[in-house]
Amino acid sequence: MTHSTTDWDALAHRARWQRQARTAAITLFLVAVSIPIILPYFWMVMIAFTARTGGAEADTLWTACAVLVPITIGYAVAYQMLSGRARLAAAGLALALAIALLFVFLGDALHVNNFRFLVNPNVVEELRGKATAGAQFPWVWSAFFNSLVLATVQMLIVVAVSTMAAYYLSRFHFMGRAAFLQSLLILQAFPAITLVIPIFLIVYWVGLLNTLTAPILVITTLELPFFIFIMKGFFDAVPWDTEMSALTDGATRRQAFRMVVLPQVTTGMIAIGVFAFIKGWEEYVFVTGLRTGNSYWVMSTYLYYVREDVMGVDYGLVAAVSVMYVLPSLILYLFAQKYLTQMTLGGVKG
């Protein structure tokens, strides 16, 4: 040992140890700050499945936590140590264990009675008599259907209009293109929600108050600049040579758009479609502001008035409605999560 007294093994050991310690510390920190977000959602689910008429049983929440937290930690540790199929097996085991233990400790408390509003149109009236602030509550499915129509139609319009516009802005040269893009940029940064009053007036003047059409058109429009820029980003990324090639192969520009360019931006269309749907599904301000709620119940107003009327009387019902309301958004969100990172905001400098 003439050349060196460095103990490489010790250095490597220290480096490994430091790396693991750092990962552990960061994970711990993120878990700690994420608890305030997850816990309320978890509580909502627990209330929905355990609350009896009268109030929420806090005990069940903490019991469930006491069951799930150790299992989750155990799974996380196992995940770190195992790999491949063993991980899958660990996940299955953890899931089975969680379900089994939840049944053992909470079996008596769990019930689906709070979801009776799904089959019984008159739940709210039965609870509160006729003295409901929201007056006549419809069956929840009618609100669900209206929300579905609002969100879907809105999504279709957003996807169609912004795709068409973005393609044209990305691929065609025309007089005033630069000016148009720059104005659109201002509209995109503009805080559209400040316009709720004049929009109400315009909708009133054109006679569209109390309709589903008004919020559909308004929400679509206010999101349009944002989605056009996102789609333009996708179109800008489609190589020019495929389109040039299509033209020399004999296609018109519209044919090239339909057959060659459009299939290359489906990711973008799905992404903006999902986000437009989620936006339409949650809409509250314009649905109430444009008085749509007077004629059409949607999920947001339904939940709002259920909350106003029976919050003190039946927590379970309110939580169950919330669960039903939040579920479509969540499913779509999980599905669309991978697209989120692919969207770039309208030309921000990198």
Partner 1 sequence: MAEIELRNLSKAWDASVAVDGIDLTLADGEFAAILGPSGCGKSTTLFMLSGVYTPTGGEIRFDGAVVNDVEPRDRNVGIVFQSYALYPNMSVLQNILFPLRFKQVDDADKRAREMAELVQITPLLDRRPSQLSGGQQQRVALARALVKRPNLLLLDEPLSNLDATLRLTMRAEIRRIVTELGVTTILVTHDQLEATTMADRVICMNAGRIEQTGSAEDLYLRPDTLFVAGFIGSPPMNLLAVDPSAAGLRLDVDGPVTLGLRPELLRAAETGVPATVSHVEPMGRETLYTAQSELGQVRFLEPTARPNWAFGDMLKLAFDPADTLLFAPDGQRVPDAHATWKDLAHA
Partner 2 sequence: MRTTPRTRAVSDTALFLGPAIVLLAIFFVAPILVNIVVAFTDMSQTLDFKDFPTTKQFNKLGKLDDEALLGIELRRSFYKALMLTLVFVVLTLGIFNLTFALILGLTTTALPDRMGAFFRAVWLLPRMSPSVVYALLWLWVVDSTERGLFNQILMAVGFEPMNLRLDHPMAVIVVANGLIGASLGMIIFTSAIRSIPEHLFHAARADGAGPFSIIRHVILPALRWPISYITIYQALALLVSFEYIFLIMGPARSTMTMAMLSYTKTLAPQIGGGQYAYGAAIAMILIVIGILVALAMWRLTNMKALLQRPRIEVR
Interface with partner 2 in residues 14-73 (CB under 8 A): 22-23, 26-27, 29-30, 34, 36-41, 43-44, 47, 55-56, 58
Cα separation, 150 vs 66, whole angstroms: 41
Q: Does 253 bind partner 2 (CB under 8 A)?
A: yes
Question: Could you say which residues in the range 260-279 bind partner 1, by CB under 8 A?
Answer: 260, 263-264
Q: Which of 249, 308, 330, 338 binds partner 1 (CB under 8 A)?
A: 249
Angle between the 58-81 and 8-50 helix axes, to the nearest 10 degrees?
A: 150
Binding of partner 2 at residue 230 (CB under 8 A)? no
Token pair for 138: 């419809």
Interaction residues for partner 2, span 186-225 (CB under 8 A): 186-202, 204, 217-218, 220-222, 224-225
Contact with partner 2 (CB under 8 A) among 82, 132, 171, 210? 171
Interface with partner 1 (CB under 8 A), residue total 17
Partner interacting with residue 125 (select from partner 2, partner 1, none; CB below 5-8 Å by kind): none
Rounded alpha-carbon distances, angstroms, from residue 167 to 183, 228, 248, 311: 17, 9, 20, 49
Looking at the chain, how many residues does it have?
350
Nearer to partner 1, 59 or 249 (CB): 249
Per CB under 8 A, the list member of 143, 170, 265, 268 interacting with partner 2 is 170
- Which of the stretches 92-100, 196-204, 243-251, 324-332 binds partner 1 when contact is defined by CB under 8 A? 243-251
Q: State the alpha helices, DSSP H only, in 172-314.
A: 177-189, 196-205, 213-236, 240-248, 253-256, 266-282, 285-289, 292-295, 299-310
**SS3 of residue 52 by DSSP:** strand
Q: Which stretch binds partner 1 (CB under 8 A): 73-81, 92-100, 197-205, 239-247?
A: 239-247
**156 lies in the binding site for partner 1 (CB under 8 A):** no
DSSP assignment of 320-343 equals HHHHHHHHHHHHHHHHHHHHHTT-
**CA pseudo-torsion sign 273, 139, 308, 47:** negative
271 secondary structure, DSSP code: H
In whole angstroms, how far apart are CA 92 and each of 65, 88, 277? Answer: 19, 6, 33
- On the 0-12 / 13-18 / 19+ scale of CB atoms within 10 A, 145 is middle
Closest by alpha carbon to 135, among 323, 319, 294? 294
Question: What tokens does 154 get?
Answer: 């809105």
What DSSP state is assigned to residue 258?
Answer: I
Q: Considering only the stretches 140-148, 175-183, 254-262, 296-304, report the one whose residues sit in contact with partner 1 under the rule CB under 8 A.
A: 254-262
Please say which residue, 105 or 304, places its beta carbon nearer to partner 2: 304
Query: In the set 84, 129, 191, 250, which binds partner 1 (CB under 8 A)?
Result: 250
| Count of residues interacting with partner 2 (CB under 8 A) | 102
Of 8 and 174, nearer to partner 2 (C-beta) is: 174
324 binds, among partner 1, partner 2, none (CB under 5 to 8 A by kind): none
Question: According to the binding rule CB under 8 A, does residue 241 interact with partner 1?
Answer: yes
* Residue 87 touches which of partner 2, partner 1, none (Cβ within 5-8 Å per kind): none
What residues make contact with partner 1 under the rule CB under 8 A? 239, 241-242, 244-252, 255, 259-260, 263-264
